Structure 1
Amino acid sequence: MAYNSAAGLAGMLKEGTRHFSQEDDPTNSSVVLRNISACLELSRMLSTSLGPQGRCKLVVNHLEKIMVTSDCAAILKEVEVEHPAAKLLASACKKQEEECGDNTNFVLAFAGELLWQTAQLIAKMTWQPAPEILAGYRRALDLCESKFFPALVCDSVNDFTQKDQLLQLLRPVLASKQYGSEGVLAPLVVDACLRVMKNGRVSVESVRTVKIPGASVSQSVLLDGYAAKSGVETVVTSVEKAKIAVFASGFEASSTEAKGTVLMKNADDLKNYNKSEEAKMEEIVRSIVESGVKIVVTGGNLSDMALHFLDRHQVMCLRIGSKWELRRLCQAVGATALVRLGPPTPDEMGYCDSARVQEMGGKPVTIFTNAESKLATIVLRASTTSVLNDLERAVDDGVQAVAQAAKDGRFVYGGGAVEMALSVALQQEAEKVPGLEQYALAAFGKALEVIPRTLAENAGWDSTRVLADLQSAHASVAEGTICDVGVDIDRLGDDQGSGTISMKEKAIYDLLNTKMSALRQAVDATVTILKVDQIIMSKPSGGPKM
């Protein structure tokens, strides 16, 4: 196809490509403002989910699966964001979830507010997204990381074997996801992390959750080992001090790769053929039993003939269809999954102190317990599937928080206290900076107020009065001391309260490492969005959406 120079850029690009640039409206920075507007819509949609008193969102995905949660990362995972700039913001939240497991809503809320402050600068001073704005935001981030954050450290985890110190860390993390249930979940998560901790490090994959509908959250328990959400295939339902053989393949007679024909001339040939197959299977089962194995776990099919001989030799047999779950079982009992059908060597065998079938929520659950297990399983109980899924996300975030604390155990005050302290410090610092960067520093500090303001709004307080009290408390603090005043989220119908309270008295802390990571992700996403001056969107592939 010939290039049509008269058509300009539209003639150069493929048919169906859309293009937006500053030339559409050079005085109002149309592309930048469009991006800011899209990100603001996404940020404000989820701002009401921030904090322990945050509201839940009911999300119905493309498969008509219903999810009720206040977890920002889980909502963004199910919602299909189409705008390219808003996708950048969603990817920053996803990265924060992968690295730290917490403060994803902080990333979205702060990035949205920072973009709004930028839009105000553009409107008031007719700025384009000049280098001064971006440089000012980078400078503010560097000041927070190198100067202000280290000065706001109030406590730290010194000994990871002390349960009290880990509980102090986990209660605020779990309360932000499951407010009211942190008293039940925090001890379970702490005990699970202490059992799988090795050399002061916690592997997130070593703590597993099993969701069983029914009962209440208070009936959730911690198991030393593995729990399979299925019953056993054999009549034996309980074994003590047993060796375990795990087979990744099916437990059945192997079939040939090529088709074959067997010629049988009489009934004796048929009987002998069946007998030879039975004898071979019985020989395999007997050899496994003679090696000391009392439990057989298979990841494939289990033939009736194999089940018959396993029952005859009083061997407990369990079938697990998921390869992922099979690997978790091997990790719990110290076994190696075999691909050959035969007796395992001593190094390939696993061991458990006990294995039993127990009924939970009307369903059989097979529990393998082992005092020396490398895996801890938290059995979660709740009335509905949505609550169970939310509890699972809260537990995952709690385990991730312990893993992050093992890298850097320093604390800062939570409840919006650290954000307000940074806001006051940055706005004071902006007055000392010459040039246009001071406006960017002041806007950065102003944007940090979105966290305490949103916490106050979600808790039912007058946000204007709460912000004024917080600013007064943090501005009047003596140099070299740390102000611990934050938002009181436990209103409990008290209309006479001030809305602020000491975070030290309430024992509400945030991990410094997690907070710095969230701030960094938000600033990086914001700067990337502000650098965009053109959007070029190719025609989507495929046919029309049904």
Structure 2
Amino acid sequence: MYSGGQPVVVLNQNTKREQGRKVQLGNVQAGKTIADVIRTCLGPRAMLKMLMDPMGGICMTNDGNAILREITVQHPAAKSLIEVARTQDEEVGDGTTSVIILAGEVLQISEPFLTQNMHPTVIISAYRQALEDMQDILKGQVSMEVDVTNRDDMLRIIKSCIGTKIISKWSDLACTIALDAVSTVSMEENGRREIDIKRYAKVEKIPGGAIEDSCVLRGVMLNKDVVHPKMKRKITNPRICLLDCNLEYKKGESQTNIELSKETDFARILELEEEYIRQICADVIAVKPDLVITEKGVSDLAQHFLLKAGISVLRRVRKSDNNRIARACGATVVNRTDELKEEDVGTECGLFEVRKIGDEYFSYIEECKDPKACTIVLRGAGKDFLMEVERNLQDAMNVARNVMVDGRLTPGGGATEMAVAWALNEKAKSITGVEQWPYRAVAKSLEVIPRTLIQNCGANTIRTITALRAKHATPGNTTWGIDGESGNIVDMKEFGIWEPFSVKAQVYKTAVETAILLLRIDDIVSGTKKQAGGGDVPQQAAASEGPEA
């Protein structure tokens, strides 16, 4: 709508609007608030957060992504920061806490420039330049190649990643499980290594027993029992047939009403049902399987025919589990029984056995020759503990996957950040003009990671960070960082704490790009209605450390 040549923004009475510097400073504040919530969750001395969900369930964790998922926030900028943690988790599966702390710090350092009326475009331009240089420094000066076939090196790398988690007490076991699981599901396709942990490495949690009983199965385990008590519960070298169809009579939609005129009609209908089930069972029996697994139901009559043929049956198995079994034993999932062929039968499994653990029955399909899928069986004291162990294990598996896909490492314990910060400061001397200051500020913001590590283990922050700066000022000292347990300065090369290059690169990229995105916002228009009391709904940074009641 135009009035006298001037554009006019028309807002209704329920619409609130904030503009310009106020919005940018509000976004900075929101980022700082979210970063402060999980700042204490970094490093081996990390504190735990206790989260309560609306249903009254409790979750205790120091996993950045798990905490942010449960936090309820109102501010739109804070919501985008929480999305950042989710993106980081989906991309590389690690570094969720670091990315939020760094993004919050990069936003915070832009506050003085905004208050001095420096234009956001100038700040953003400097940030972009700094990000490009960070990636180059990381790849060229700080990272190093690693031999992914060396098992001891791989175990050491995974160990350094779970040192901050609850599972670190059983780190040798956890590292072995993570590496075995990832090696099992690793596949070479068209010259590229494909590792799909989410789909093919399933974690099954069974409360009870000791955590030392946890293991990786060379195959698949299901929380299922055979459908008939007389069916065989242990088969050596079974022939496995996988189905995605019902082994029962399925009435058509138009067959809901049937009119019977003669006494023999009902008997004929039963005969038709029996003939149909006899036929589909004959199709299955023709390929001589020992074990049939279907995603749908199996009728009593079908059970009878299959039992007579000496075949064991599992029914109502999840599609994802069926796909895992197909990869593990070399079978093909078939949608219709009349399409079953000899090559669809899986023969690469060494043992099928139903075992009872506690009150429940579990079907083990294991000892597969070359399984490209696996099940991780976790045992432990209670459900909450097992859930936290599973989260830790997922991080460990992601680290193993990242190193296998991109075999480069960077030193941990804040050493990478200090090395990159020092190199950026040196580069800043060659930059002229006002952009030099935001560029230097990005270098300073990287120090938040070692600084937080020092704070979390209660050491003297200023003295330690100054000594660390002095170490990195000497050329070639790129591996000096913080021992997260004691707060002392150590050489990460000797200390053995390494992080995957892909995680670090993703952390920097995501953190700086998120800060750039939030700085570009200069207008927030929200159509929230006024409350009954007449006051506006507050839209400033509101981050509560737990879900809304």
TM-score range, shorter chain: 0.7 to 0.9
Does the CA contact (< 8 Å) of 1:69 and 1:386 recur in 2? no
Residues 1:290 and 1:131: Cα distance change in structure 2 (over 3 Å) = closer
User: Structure 1: how far apart are the matches of 2:219 and 2:489?
Assistant: 44
SS at match of 2:184: helix
Show the 5 A alignment for 1:59-70: 59-70=51-62
Does the CA contact (< 8 Å) of 1:264 and 1:270 recur in 2? no
The equivalent of 1:25 in structure 2 is none
The equivalent of 2:158 in structure 1 is 170
Number of residue equivalences: 522
Residues 1:320 and 1:512: Cα distance change in structure 2 (over 3 Å) = same
Match of 2:236 among 237, 240, 259: 240
User: Structure 2: how far apart are the matches of 1:375 and 1:521?
Assistant: 31
Moved more, 280-289 or 365-374: 280-289
Residues 1:15 and 1:293: Cα distance change in structure 2 (over 3 Å) = farther
Residues 1:364 and 1:398: Cα distance change in structure 2 (over 3 Å) = same
Does the CA contact (< 8 Å) of 1:413 and 1:503 recur in 2? yes
Does the CA contact (< 8 Å) of 1:207 and 1:399 recur in 2? no
Match of 1:435 among 405, 414, 433: 433
Residues 1:145 and 1:220: Cα distance change in structure 2 (over 3 Å) = same
Match of 1:228 among 215, 219, 222: 222
The equivalent of 1:187 in structure 2 is 176
Residues 1:234 and 1:342: Cα distance change in structure 2 (over 3 Å) = farther
Which residue identity is paired with 1:436? V
Residues 1:238 and 1:5: Cα distance change in structure 2 (over 3 Å) = farther
User: Structure 1: how far apart are the matches of 2:244 and 2:31?
Assistant: 47
User: Structure 1: how far apart are the matches of 2:219 and 2:483?
Assistant: 40
Residues 1:291 and 1:131: Cα distance change in structure 2 (over 3 Å) = closer
SS at match of 1:101: coil
SS at match of 1:242: coil
SS at match of 2:518: helix
Match of 2:195 among 178, 199, 202: 202
The equivalent of 1:517 in structure 2 is 506
Which residue identity is paired with 2:332? T
Moved more, 222-231 or 51-60: 51-60
Residues 1:456 and 1:181: Cα distance change in structure 2 (over 3 Å) = farther
Does the CA contact (< 8 Å) of 2:185 and 2:374 recur in 1? yes
Does the CA contact (< 8 Å) of 1:201 and 1:406 recur in 2? no
Task: After TM superposition, give the deviation of residue 111 of structure 1 in Å.
Answer: 1.0
User: Structure 1: how far apart are the matches of 2:71 and 2:346?
Assistant: 43
Match of 2:480 among 472, 485, 494: 485
Q: Which has the higher contact order (CA 8 A, sep 6+)?
A: 2
The equivalent of 2:15 in structure 1 is 17
Does the CA contact (< 8 Å) of 2:324 and 2:374 recur in 1? no
Task: After TM superposition, give the deviation of residue 253 of structure 1 in Å.
Answer: 1.8
The equivalent of 1:526 in structure 2 is 515
The equivalent of 2:335 in structure 1 is 339
Pair 1:104-2:85 in alignment: no
User: Structure 2: how far apart are the matches of 1:180 and 1:459?
Assistant: 18
Show the 5 A alignment for 1:250-399: 250-259=246-255, 260-261=257-258, 263=260, 265-266=262-263, 274=270, 277-278=273-274, 280-342=276-338, 344-351=340-347, 352-369=349-366, 370-399=368-397
What do residues 105-143 of structure 1 show as CA deviations (whole Å, max 9, x unaligned)? 1110011111111113444xx234443322222222122
Does the CA contact (< 8 Å) of 2:187 and 2:372 recur in 1? no
TM norm structure 2: 0.87
Task: After TM superposition, give the deviation of residue 526 of structure 1 in Å.
Answer: 0.4
Pair 1:120-2:118 in alignment: no
User: Structure 2: how far apart are the matches of 1:87 and 1:10?
Assistant: 30
Moved more, 391-400 or 297-306: 391-400
Moved more, 66-75 or 94-103: 66-75
Pair 1:56-2:53 in alignment: no
Moved more, 45-54 or 33-42: 45-54
User: Structure 2: how far apart are the matches of 1:337 and 1:440?
Assistant: 58
Segments of 5+ residues of structure 2 without an aligned counterpart are 530-536, 538-547
User: Structure 1: how far apart are the matches of 2:261 and 2:491?
Assistant: 88
Does the CA contact (< 8 Å) of 2:187 and 2:194 recur in 1? yes
Which residue identity is paired with 1:20? E
Task: After TM superposition, give the deviation of residue 287 of structure 1 in Å.
Answer: 4.2
Task: After TM superposition, give the deviation of residue 342 of structure 1 in Å.
Answer: 4.7
What do residues 460-480 of structure 1 show as CA deviations (whole Å, max 9, x unaligned)? 3232332122122222x2x2x
User: Structure 2: how far apart are the matches of 1:19 and 1:9?
Assistant: 16
Segments of 5+ residues of structure 1 without an aligned counterpart are 23-28, 492-497
Which residue identity is paired with 2:142? L
Which residue identity is paired with 1:519? Y
- What percent of counterpart residues are identical? 27
User: Structure 1: how far apart are the matches of 2:268 and 2:117?
Assistant: 92
The equivalent of 2:31 in structure 1 is 39
Match of 2:129 among 139, 144, 168: 139
User: Structure 2: how far apart are the matches of 1:247 and 1:198?
Assistant: 25
Alpha-carbon RMSD across the aligned residues, in angstroms, is 2.9
